[in-house]
């Protein structure tokens, strides 16, 4: 069976994934999807390179989402319900079901216009950006937890509906992969179901599940997170290094309220402690405003130098705000008031000291880059946990196996693991965590933790 990362699989029977029968025909699915994503006004490039790009960009996220569901559904003995109970759905459940039904409506509209490119792009965006990279990742702990309660059931029901609907929605253009998904998700559970995904009715939008305000709010949250990650990458701040705060400017006050409402998700995704929504981008960046010489030079001649000096003395933040909003800027030069159009000004934006920021479409997200000793230790622990999890996979341990962990490392690492002992044990399922000689353990490896080498040994706790 494939794991949640989609790296391994063997054929099994019953309520489990099978793939080999469809694998030989996967090339056909790849080419059909490549054709759907092709702009008909341009030449169609195909071959191993283009096909592998489709596999990496779309097929793996789809298959891994499906594999994640089946892996945990098998562990928990989940069986789909004919009428899922909506009372225990979380905001994320309601959001993804709303997006799913909006997707169905959009795809049907595209197909009615013979717009395969538009339909394929909508499906790909939903699968990659929203289902795989947001809904499943944000809900992993609901599937991992040992208690099979109503909340966990709601998570299974929601993801099941998404995957079955996607199989039906994508079936016309990916007949073999979707047939494999449908056979295992539906036919293995219901002998009375149509014998093939291609014999089912095409999905229709359920308006009662569409929540446009919730979709807009979650879009603001996802954009904030994406920009925050971009700011991290640009400043070489590791994802596992916690930061003190994130400051966010949104295009509208309503979207700012949405970011506040979902602050817990933003903080978790960006690995920061506090979130602050600000009203002005000037709180996050610094501006320099200069005249565009090729435009204003012929118009004002020798007066241009005095215009430049006046701009440098003026409130750059206010001028930038007006110009970026498309408003004219009034400037007093030699006792006369000049009105400068936004296109006549050059606005340079730079980060404020101590902040790493990025902006797009009216959003500005800035991260506080100061790392205190406490934040540094927590970053070491998160890196250590990641390396232990990697070693668990290499050792072939089951996801629910309890383990023992022995490590050698720096004084900083020992201090960090002492301070965060309970967290480290919970994340790695370690019954024993101590400094010592890792070579006594069955599985050992030298790894990077932070910027230093450490040696980790693990073994199954029997």
Q: What is the pLDDT of residues 303-324, one digit of tens each?
A: 888 898 988 888 888 888 888 8
* Res. 44: pLDDT tops 90: no
Confidence of residue 144 (pLDDT cuts 50, 70, 90): confident
Taking only the tens place, the pLDDT of each residue in 436-447 is: 999 989 999 999
pLDDT at 297: 85
**Cβ neighbours of 373 (radius 10 Å):** 10
Please report the pLDDT score of residue 41 as a whole number. 67
Could you read off the pLDDT of 224-270 as tens digits, one per residue? Answer: 999 999 999 999 998 889 999 999 999 999 999 999 999 999 999 99
Identify which of 50, 59, 172, 179 has the alpha carbon closest to the alpha carbon of residue 110.
Answer: 172
- How far from 253 is each of 259, 321, 366, CA to CA, in Å? 10, 16, 18
User: Taking the CB of residue 42, how many other CB atoms lie within 10 A of it?
Assistant: 7
Examine the pLDDT at 283 and tell me if it is beyond 70. yes
Helix residue spans in 91-149 (DSSP H): 91-112, 116-125, 137-144
Q: Look up the pTM and report it.
A: 0.75
Q: At what angle do helices 116-125 and 150-170 cross, to 10 degrees?
A: 160
What average pLDDT does range 32-38 have in this prediction?
A: 67
Contact yes or no for 137/125 (Cβ under 8 A): no
> What would the mean pLDDT of 200-219 be, rounded to a whole number?
96
pLDDT at residue 38, as a whole number = 63
pLDDT value, residue 4: 37
**Which residue, 362, 354, 369, 130, is CA-closest to 272?**
369
Q: What is the mean pLDDT of the chain?
A: 87
Q: Which of 117, 118, 119 is nearest to 37 (CA)?
A: 117
Residue scoring higher pLDDT (213 or 3): 213
pLDDT-derived band at 9 (thresholds 50, 70, 90) equals very low
Q: Closest Cα to residue 443, out of 408, 391, 397?
A: 391
Contact 436, 405 (CB under 8 A): no
pLDDT more than 90, % of the chain = 60
First to last CA, the chain: 24
pLDDT at 154 over 90: yes
CATH topology of domain 20-209: Isoleucyl-tRNA Synthetase; Domain 1 (1.10.730)
How is 181-212 classified by DSSP, letter by letter?
HHIIIIITT-TTS-SSGGGSPPP---GGG--H
Quick one: pLDDT at residue 23? 45
Q: What is the pLDDT of residue 381?
A: 95
What is the distance between the alpha carbons of residues 178 and 160, in angstroms, rounded to a whole number?
Answer: 14
Question: Span 395-401, mean pLDDT?
Answer: 88
Q: Is the pLDDT of residue 24 over 70?
A: no
Residue in the structure block whose two tokens are 């967290």: 423
CA distances from 196 to 17, 48, 79, 281, 366 (A): 16, 30, 20, 54, 50
Residue 455 has pLDDT above 60, yes or no: yes
């Amino acid at each position: 069976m494939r794991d949640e990362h989609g790296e391994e699989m063997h054929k099994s029977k019953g309520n489990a994934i099978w793939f080999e029968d469809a694998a030989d025909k996967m090339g056909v699915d790849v080419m059909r999807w490549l054709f759907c994503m092709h702009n008909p006004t341009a030449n169609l490039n195909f071959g191993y390179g283009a096909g592998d790009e489709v596999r990496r960009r779309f097929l793996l996220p789809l298959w891994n989402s499906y594999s994640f569901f089946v892996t945990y559904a098998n562990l928990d003995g989940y069986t789909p319900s004919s009428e899922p109970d909506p009372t225990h759905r979380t905001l994320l459940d309601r959001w993804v079901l709303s997006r799913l039904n909006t997707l169905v409506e959009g795809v049907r509209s595209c197909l009615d216009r013979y717009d395969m490119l538009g339909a394929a792009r909508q499906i790909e965006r939903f699968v990659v950006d929203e289902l795989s990279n947001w809904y499943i990742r944000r809900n992993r702990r609901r599937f991992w937890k040992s208690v099979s309660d109503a909340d966990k059931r709601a998570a299974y029901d929601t993801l099941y509906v998404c995957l079955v609907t996607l199989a039906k929605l994508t079936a016309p253009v990916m007949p073999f992969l979707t047939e494999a998904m449908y056979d295992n998700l539906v036919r293995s559970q219901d002998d009375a179901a149509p014998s093939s995904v291609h014999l089912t009715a095409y999905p229709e939008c359920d308006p009662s599940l569409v929540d446009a305000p919730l979709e807009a709010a979650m879009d603001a949250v996802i954009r904030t997170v994406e920009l925050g990650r971009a700011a991290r990458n640009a400043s070489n701040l590791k994802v596992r290094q916690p930061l003190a705060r994130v400051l966010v400017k949104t295009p509208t006050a309503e979207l700012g309220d949405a970011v506040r409402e979902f602050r817990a998700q933003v903080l978790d995704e960006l690995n920061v402690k506090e979130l602050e929504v600000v009203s002005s981008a000037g709180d996050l960046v610094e501006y320099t405003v200069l005249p565009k010489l090729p435009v204003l030079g012929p118009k004002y001649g020798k007066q241009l130098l005095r215009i430049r000096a006046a701009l440098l003395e003026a409130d750059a933040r206010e001028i930038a705000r007006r110009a970026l909003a498309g408003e004219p800027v009034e400037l007093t030069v030699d006792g006369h008031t000049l009105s400068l159009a936004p296109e006549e000004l050059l606005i340079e934006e730079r980060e404020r000291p101590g902040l790493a920021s990025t902006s797009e479409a009216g959003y500005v997200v800035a991260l506080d880059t100061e790392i205190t000793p406490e934040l540094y230790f927590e970053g070491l622990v998160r890196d250590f946990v990641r390396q232990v999890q990697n070693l668990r996979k290499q050792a072939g341990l089951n996801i629910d196996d309890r383990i023992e962990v022995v490590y050698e490392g720096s004084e900083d690492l020992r201090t960090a693991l002492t301070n965060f002992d309970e967290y480290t044990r919970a994340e790695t399922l370690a019954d024993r965590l101590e400094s010592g000689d890792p070579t006594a353990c069955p599985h050992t490896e030298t790894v990077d933790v932070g910027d230093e080498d450490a040696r980790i040994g693990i073994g199954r706790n029997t």
